[in-house]
Amino acid sequence: MADSSGNVIRNGEDDDGTHGRSVAGIDEGPAAVVSVHEGRKRVILHVDLNNTILVSDAATSQGTVAALDYFMTTVTWGKMNKGKWEWLSDSPSLQPPCDDATSYYSQFRSTHGFTSAAGRRFRGILEEHLKLLRWPKGLKGDRDLTTKGEDGHLYHWILPSFFQLLIDLTQQGTPFAVHFRTFGCDLIRVLSAVSKAVTQGAHPLFPDLPDLKLSVNKTAGKIRCSPKEVVLARGGERLSSRNGERSLYEYFSTAHGLGGFQDDYDWWLTNNYSARGGKPLWVDPFDQSVQHIFIDDNIRQNDEDTVVHPKVFLKPGSAETRTASISELYDVALIQTDLLKAISEPDYFTRRVRICQENYEKNVLQGSG
């Protein structure tokens, strides 16, 4: 975060220097087990869909196997050496193992059949996580909550760790709301499936979800961006940043239950996939009652190759914002999804949100500063 002079307030560093950040195969450190403060802020979660809580993508026609195979190309690292590709790690990780490493995807942009060819050393990891994703034998497959993979197996469509997050936040007494934020075309189906699980108790692994008393707005909204304004529309609602960015922040901050918006992919493309064209996220470090957290697999600590545009208010109650760097808000208001851990660890999202809550308390201005 930053103070009113624009000075950066860095993430709180754990004793082991990891900043409470998650790298595949490395424990998150002390922040992962610290209990949340009793005076809880309201948490507003902005949650991506594809490769965050879904392991599939209707827009690219990727089923479960292909989607997970693609993700592996983004978290495996090497470099070109004398015209040949040289692997620099034997296990996936969100961060590169060294400064000159690049992901396989960044180098080749080719992903089809990765773990069956160039990335076959990672095939065992893929297969292990596909097994964890399978719908349990003996449970009736719900067409809204399952998906049939290219290999014929029935898989969870929405990760169980997402539903576990809803339960854990409620049990912790943390007030929250969820805004799904996606460039893709799965939003309407996700809203319907989540509503079925949350309000009707249709998920056999989480039959008590209706006890949480969460509402779901099944009307999908849109967020569209231009050099002049950001426009949010859902049903009969319409807000524009021309009237001040504060109104958009307050709209997200005061929401209840779960809902969702399709963000502006064309704007991201126009801005060369940089933060400038990313999904807008408004953060007010002076607001003592609300914390916004964005969860997305494409959040990267490289402002020229990332999916979120963090906009931080300059003064208490002001409408003016500045663009924050990703590294400034990483693990404070931004969570880069480790899809493999989200599959294998039921409390993954709960722990990542808790780390952000702890880091936010350490770093945000107390009052006006």
Beta bridge mates, 311: 282, 323
Which tokens hold the place of 133? 């994703």
pLDDT of 111 reads 77
The structure's pTM equals: 0.88
In the chain (369 residues long), the average pLDDT of successive 10-residue segments reads 38 34 31 41 97 94 95 97 95 95 92 92 98 94 94 97 98 97 97 98 97 98 97 97 93 97 98 97 95 97 96 94 96 98 98 96 56
**Four-point Cα dihedral 256, 356, 29, 6, nearest 10:** 180
Pairing of the two strands 221-225 and 230-234 = antiparallel
d(CA 355, CA 20): 7
DSSP class of 194: H
User: Where are the alpha helices (H) located in the chain, listed in sequence order?
Assistant: 64-74, 104-108, 123-133, 160-172, 187-200, 245-253, 265-270, 326-329, 339-344, 348-363
pLDDT tens digit string along 165-178?
999 999 999 999 99
pLDDT of 40 reads 75
